[in-house]
Chain A
């Protein structure tokens, strides 16, 4: 009978002492209660664990797309135009809105490109130089062509293009930061 208690020591002792059936029943009950409590406790801790692990399992920081303007506005571009976009960075229960400058320009095949104004060299903001028809970084003199490709200077790559999409005729851009001082474009956040 007492084998059910799962306690071999008790089994031996109790089987050696006949007439202790009450003792035996109690240790079985104790084991049952122990297992039951552990089971219920584990069940109850599921929502607690899910609650505590929420920031690890879900994205609590995210960057949203920002609108730039209607597509038709940019169809007749002759040179890069600057637009200031508001980027919203969500951080848990709060968000930060900051402004970033981007350029809308045309690629070699005439397709629309959106470039970040952050210099891929050391992160200065690159202005468009109308007279020289080039992007010239004021900090260390990196020079880029109108489509953002590297012309000369210390930068290891051309200006970085941003992910775009079109929603209801509106050009949208998703702002991102890229690692500086490397020759390949690498997202950092």
Chain B
């Protein structure tokens, strides 16, 4: 039994007593909740309207999972891959949460496309909804930006090469392309500065914009009101309205439940893989973007040389302007799809081209034996990498000490003397210093070899007071010891 606006115009007065009453008088929480829930929907609740709420839910899920992943992730070319491998292989529920975040981005793009299609097909951008549509377009671009920047962060082969191609594609934009690419990469090549930039964009910049735009998108939606079914007048709704709560809320929640179950099962049974660490020297690797970028990827293949201006700049710009300007261009009151052949034709055409390009890209890969073999090999390498247990990264501190001794045989001999004479007892292993004696790292910058030899044979008063004894060694041993001390940097 659909409840109508009439019998619900004031569903219940705000509570006056008890904790809820107190809280409401202080915060207006109940009033706020009622404003949120008692939004009239002309024509009543429908399954077609669920996608906006679905998007909001996935976005919140992405924020929460992203927040938790940041507990272990380090954005640097040295550590990014190790920390993601640690999350995926060692940390409890790490693989699940990482999968939820990675699949969440795909889910976001899918639901976003459905939301956009529903709005477009229903003509819900009409009737003073230009800014609502515009904020939606910006959000679409930002979500794709999130997907693009997040993809690099694991810094495995797939991430590295896909982003190398992605940023290269940007450089094909005439005039500004080369600078744009360098701006994104933080230099001419991909490196640790690229990770920093992508991380800042992915974690601070774009999310901040999304939060602001989601707020304005919802505000503008409430200002304009729900558009209702496509037989509805976009300016003055005539259909009998039904409130957002309870039926639409329940419908929206059922999509949310479906998303939770679907994503949960997917993440549990088919967790996202992590490939071997990025190796920029690998000339064999064939990069492929995530599925939603495949059409663009395929499209760019067709445009090279003189014609590239048309394919890379003019056509995408015209398309983007047409989409953004849609509510300004299509001002008719008619919303029924079958009465809007041009709009529907354009939609079908763009959809056909995008799907076609995506499928074509898959087809080309499959039918090129060299490429398909390499792609299979890459997939196998990913699976092999995932099977290996997590290997902690060697900290740089332990490497410095080990390398110093290996560099020069005389210094290596000096190292054994350093330890046999218990110099390390007070000056620490590798001369790092201790409470008992100062560090020896960098001491060669302060004293010449001759001065060091003199000090070792005849320590100064300050040294003797600190417990330093004269070193009684043969000349060649002393030379080796000095060579070792000088190698400590």
Contact = CB atoms under 8 A, between A and B. Distances in A.
Interface of A: 9, 22-23, 26-27, 29-30, 33, 40, 44, 47-48, 50-54, 57-58, 82, 84, 90-101, 119, 122-127, 137-139
Given A93-B85, A139-B425, 4 more contacts: A48-B93, A51-B68, A125-B424, A138-B425
Nearest to B3: A22
A123 B79 CA distance: 34
22 contacts: A26-B12, A33-B246, A47-B97, A51-B92, A52-B68, A54-B94, A57-B92, A58-B92, A93-B83, A93-B392, A94-B393, A95-B393, A96-B395, A96-B397, A119-B425, A124-B422, A124-B425, A126-B422, A127-B422, A138-B469, A139-B426, A139-B436
Contacts of B68: 48, 51-52
A155 B322 CA distance: 85
Nearest to B93: A47
B9 interface: no
B7 interface: yes
A94 B394 contact: yes
Contacts of B436: 122, 124, 139
B86 interface: yes
B420 A51 contact: no
Interface in B3-29: 3, 7-8, 11-12, 15, 17-18
Contacts of B96: 47
Contact of A44 (B12, B260, B393, B434): B260
Interface residues on B, range: 35 or more
A94 B399 CA distance: 12
A68 to B, nearest CB: 16
B82 A93 contact: yes
Contacts of A57: 92
Given A125-B419, A125-B425, A126-B422, A94 B395 contact: yes
Contact of B64 (A48, A96, A97): A48
A15 B15 CA distance: 16
Contacts of B402: 97, 99
Contacts of A127: 420-422
Given A48-B68, A50-B93, A51-B91, A94 B82 contact: yes
Given A84-B419, A95-B392, A139-B436, A40 B93 contact: no
Interface string B83-119: 1011000111110110000000000000000000000
Contacts of B93: 47-48, 50-51
Contacts of B65: 48
Contacts of B15: 9
Of residues B65, B422, B424, which shows the largest number of chain A Cβ atoms within 10 Å of its Cβ?
B422
Q: Which 6 pairs of residues, A with B, have the shortest CB-CB distance?
A: A124-B425, A125-B425, A47-B93, A93-B86, A95-B392, A97-B398
B256 to A, nearest CB: 9
A54 B91 contact: yes
Contact of B18 (A9, A29, A30, A94): A9
State the majority secondary structure of interface residues on B: helix
B452 interface: no
Interface of B: 3, 7-8, 11-12, 15, 17-18, 64-65, 68, 71-72, 79, 82-83, 85-86, 90-94, 96-97, 245-246, 249-250, 253, 257, 260, 390, 392-395, 397-398, 401-402, 419-422, 424-426, 429, 434, 436, 467, 469
Contacts of A30: 246
Given A54-B92, A125-B419, A138-B422, A23 B11 contact: yes
A52 B12 contact: no
A168 B15 CA distance: 76
Nearest to A55: B91
Contacts of A44: 260
A102 to B, nearest CB: 12
A127 B469 CA distance: 15
A54 B92 CA distance: 6
A124 to B, nearest CB: 4
Nearest to A25: B246
Nearest to A40: B260
B72 A93 contact: yes
A69 B176 CA distance: 64
Contacts of B429: 98-100
Contacts of A26: 11-12, 245-246
A51 B424 contact: no
A33 B71 contact: no
Contacts of B250: 33
Contacts of B249: 33
B254 to A, nearest CB: 12
B406 to A, nearest CB: 12
A58 B12 CA distance: 51
Contacts of B390: 93
A95 B469 contact: no
A51 B7 CA distance: 48
Contacts of B18: 9
Nearest to B82: A93
